[in-house]
Amino acid sequence: MKERIIAFMNEKRFKEVRSEILQLNSVNVADILEELDTNEAVILFRMLPKDMAVEVFSYLSNEQQRNIIDSITDKEIKHIMDELFFDDMIDFIEEMPANIVKKILKNTKEEERVLINQFLNYPENSAGSLMTIEYVDLRKDMTVRQAIDHIKETGIEKETIYTCYVTDANRKLEGIVSLRKLVITPDEKNIEEIMNKNVVYVHTHDDQEVVAHLFKKYDLIAIPVLDKEERLTGIITIDDIVDVIEQENTEDFQKMAGMEPSEIEYLDANFLTLAKNRITWLLILMISATFTGRIIQKFEDVLQSVVVLAAFIPMLMDTGGNAGAQSSTLIIRGLALGEIKTKDFFRVIVKELIVSTVVGIALAGINFVRIYYIEKIDLKISITVTGTLFLTVVLAKVVGGVLPIVARKCKLDPAIMASPLITTIVDAVALVVYFSFASWILGI
């Protein structure tokens, strides 16, 4: 379908293009626009019915949005800005260069400009930066009939009409009522009788992670956002929260791999940004790892007399790192989902101690059989390696389980206590144990 429309575009068979396009979902039309060059994209964009054009626009990449805004008339821009949902407009303006923003603001009314500026000033990743102002506003003395009539008149411009907000003359939120409730309630009842006063809400400056957590906990499809004076200023809808959830997860993945989190998609990021995001942690960890090297230097005489000890360093370091990474990942994830709290500190330690003992015995056992019986390594060395392996696994798992919780206690992001950092710590300790053990058992 997509290929056919693009082929029609190339052959300038615009009539066929139009009739095909009208069958499609706006998301798919946006997909097609992304594949066309600017000229063709503008031609196709102008073919769309006005309502569809606005919807398609909201699904385009920033690059293609900019191309289109650059090529259409002020009147067309004005129409798009008037019809875009407010949150989509803010997202769009935030990403545009100054000349385009100027072109857009020229085409908006004074009062809307004030509102745009207010929204642009909400902190990044705050509830304020996610919300939209197109919600249904009811009064508690309305009847159900009046409320439904009000929705009929104004509903088409609202982002959602499925949750309606009951406010007083000062915009204080008094309750919510769902469209479901309105539809199944007799016409003459008052809103006050059926509204739910026990409302879950957030404030404009709350972090988006808090908002996402409430959506998950209460299975919401929209949440009201209040300002400092507890007045209703906007709502956030579930579609935006789904994006927030994925964004927060991406950030955690990035932090846990020792990178600065970034919202730019990999293929869109330039190499300097990518390098910059990666280098800080690599550098910190590289320098930390040189201390691990110092440990080896300190035990140089042990190593000199029994060089075969070096052969087990990679296995000990890797296994320790992997064991620690497993535990820290589970705990970081549990903290992020709210399944583990800081008060579970001791439960986590006990659990990791037991699990690591089981895992450690299994790994050490298999390892002993392999190096003593199969590789015929000297008994004392086999014992040293196996003993160190066991202790390393236990230690790695306890450290991996504990550090994320400590980070949360210290108001740091637990995600930094992930594989790279844990590995570096565990490596150092493992080597100290290894060589101390060796010099003791081997009597060097």
Shortest distance (Å) from residue 101 CB to its own copies: 25
Q: 122 or 215: whose CB is closer to its own copies?
A: 215
Shortest distance (Å) from residue 410 CB to its own copies: 21
Asked if 54 and 84 count as a contact pair (C-beta separation under 8 A), the reply is yes
Pick from 308, 306, 326: which is nearest to 318 by CA?
326
Shortest distance (Å) from residue 114 CB to its own copies: 29
Shortest distance (Å) from residue 23 CB to its own copies: 6
Shortest distance (Å) from residue 86 CB to its own copies: 16
Residue 323 half-sphere exposure toward CB, CA atoms < 13 A? 32
Pick from 152, 149, 433: which is nearest to 295 by CA?
433
Residue 73, C-beta contacts closer than 8 angstroms, at least 6 positions apart: none
Name the phi and psi angles at 9, rounded to 5.
-60, -45
Q: 114 or 354: whose CB is closer to its own copies?
A: 354
Shortest distance (Å) from residue 323 CB to its own copies: 6
Asked if 222 and 162 count as a contact pair (C-beta separation under 8 A), the reply is yes
Q: 44 or 405: whose CB is closer to its own copies?
A: 405
- The residue type found at 318 is D
Residue 427, C-beta contacts closer than 8 angstroms, at least 6 positions apart: 289, 292, 317, 320, 321
Helix/strand/coil (H, E, C) string of 386-422? HHHHHHHHHHHHHHHHHHHHHHHHCCCCHHHCCHHHH
Q: 119 or 299: whose CB is closer to its own copies?
A: 299
Strand 163-167 to 136-138 pairing: parallel
Q: 204 or 328: whose CB is closer to its own copies?
A: 328
Q: 170 or 297: whose CB is closer to its own copies?
A: 297
